Structure 1
Amino acid sequence: MDEYKLVVVGDSKVGKTTLTITFVEEFGSIVEDSYLKKCVVDDKLASLSILETTGEEDFDCTAVLYMHAGEGFLLVYSITDRNSFEEIPKLHKQICRVKDSDEFPVILVGNKADLENERVVSYSEGENLAAQMKMKYVESSAKHKVHVDKAFHDLVREIRRSKKP
């Protein structure tokens, strides 16, 4: 069984914890600040260790350690919070610095899609930023369990793709 270290990064209050807990709640477990889950992605069993940052990455040594250890990243913002969207390039640059690379598996996630009436970041803005930063884009609703598995599974696929010779 392949093992993967995933890191969920984003501003505070974008729904990182809800997104992660929604994903691991069935057949998963929590050990300190790490979430563990075994799942099947494309007919292959995967063991995922998911670390979540606090949203205070500039000041958090733990976040830097997580970024260094991470094999793939979910960059999460809230579609109802323009500031969290505008922080994404900064967070990406920080991961690039920590990883000493600008190429690593990453998925951009626009969370809280269930709050369409409060949307301030359009779907096309999310898509455009993802294209600009050369990453896939997913909009999710952790509350309604929409595209949560897709985001994590797509990240596993990206990690697998990056490991191929």
Structure 2
Amino acid sequence: MKIIEEVLPKKTKFRASERSPFEGSCCGGGYSNVDSLPPSPTDSEPPPPPRYRVVMLGEASVGKTALVSQFMTSEYMHTYDASLDDEFGEKTVSVLLDDEESELVFIDHPSVEMSVENCLSTYEPHACIVAYSVVDRNSFRIAEEILNYLWQEHVTKEKAVILVGNKADLARSRVIPTTEGKALAASRDAKFIETSSGIQHNVDELLVGVLKQMRLKEKRDKKAAAMESSKMKSSRTHISLHLAKEILQKICLSDIAKSKSCENLHVL
């Protein structure tokens, strides 16, 4: 056994800082330092896209669930990041709009299971879609009650709220004219659109519109917060965050006076 040990060469150990015995050969370039290389900046994962919660409100059978199902097939859906198997009553879809990805979580619980107040306190949504059927006067009455509540609680001012008249394709059975829905939305600081989940009329426009409204509200709030911070630091005057939001909103509205319609979902 001693003879074998003397004949066989002993293994040589080297550290990452020492010269590699393979350096200079076809497979030796940089071999010794492979474990000590710093990670490339491109190796780090990008931050997750912003996530927004949208609650679907309104009477049963007005088509809320059908609208959410249509959202999942939208041309704006980010193909590789759509989740169709979320918790009961919730669907998540990644939307690519203006080269920016966002995740939208649509919360669609039956109205008999959760009141509007509980829904708002439980999920703290970024937006509310209040739906009614243009062929059902009672569903419009309930939508009006919901909008009144959201308006009284200042939700329509702080959050994105869109009144949706669904089943617009049923022209012969219509009992709610477009002008009536539009007037209700305008009186409660909400946006308005008519859709048809049956023939996919204005479904993509609603999906894009609610995302656009949430982004605009978020941008407005950030500007208001920056203005508040700037005013506090300068000590020249003190202005409340609420007042700052109102000032910014008036500035935005004056710049887009020709686009004030509640049907334009791309402006505040």
Task: Give the one of 164, 187, 191 matched to 1:136.
Answer: 191
Task: State whether structure 2 residue 103 is matched by structure 1 residue 47.
Answer: yes
Match of 2:171 in 1: 116
**2:142 corresponds to which letter in structure 1?**
E
- Residue range with higher mean Cα deviation, 66-75 or 105-114: 66-75
Match of 1:148 in 2: 203
Provide, for residues 75-96 of structure 1, a one-character-per-residue CA deviation record: whole Å limited to 9, x for no partner: 1000000111111231124445
Give, in whole Å, the separation in 2 of the partners of 1:100 and 1:137: 18
> Identity across aligned pairs (percent)?
27
Match of 1:159 in 2: 214
Structure 2: give runs of 5+ residues left out of the alignment.
1-48, 75-81, 224-268
Q: Which has the larger radius of gyration?
A: 2
Give, in whole Å, the separation in 1 of the partners of 2:96 and 2:218: 18
**1:42 corresponds to which letter in structure 2?**
D
Q: Which has the higher contact order (CA 8 A, sep 6+)?
A: 1
Match of 1:30 in 2: 85
Give, in whole Å, the separation in 1 of the partners of 2:111 and 2:71: 19
Match of 2:38 in 1: none
Which structure's residues are more often strand, by fraction?
A: 1
Give, in whole Å, the separation in 1 of the partners of 2:83 and 2:200: 16
Aligned-residue offset at 1:160: 1.0
Alignment: residue pair count: 161
Match of 1:14 in 2: 62
Give, in whole Å, the separation in 2 of the partners of 1:65 and 1:150: 28
TM-score, normalising length: structure 1: 0.87
Maintained 8 Å contact 1:110/1:140:
yes
Task: State whether structure 2 residue 119 is matched by structure 1 residue 66.
Answer: yes
Give, in whole Å, the separation in 2 of the partners of 1:49 and 1:65: 17
Give, in whole Å, the separation in 2 of the partners of 1:51 and 1:94: 19
Q: In structure 2, the residue corresponding to 1:141 is in which secondary structure?
A: coil
Task: State whether structure 2 residue 128 is matched by structure 1 residue 76.
Answer: no
State the superposition RMSD in angstroms: 2.0
Give, in whole Å, the separation in 1 of the partners of 2:93 and 2:155: 27
**1:122 corresponds to which letter in structure 2?**
P
Aligned-residue offset at 1:52: 1.0
Maintained 8 Å contact 2:134/2:174:
yes
Task: Give the one of 90, 114, 127 matched to 2:182.
Answer: 127
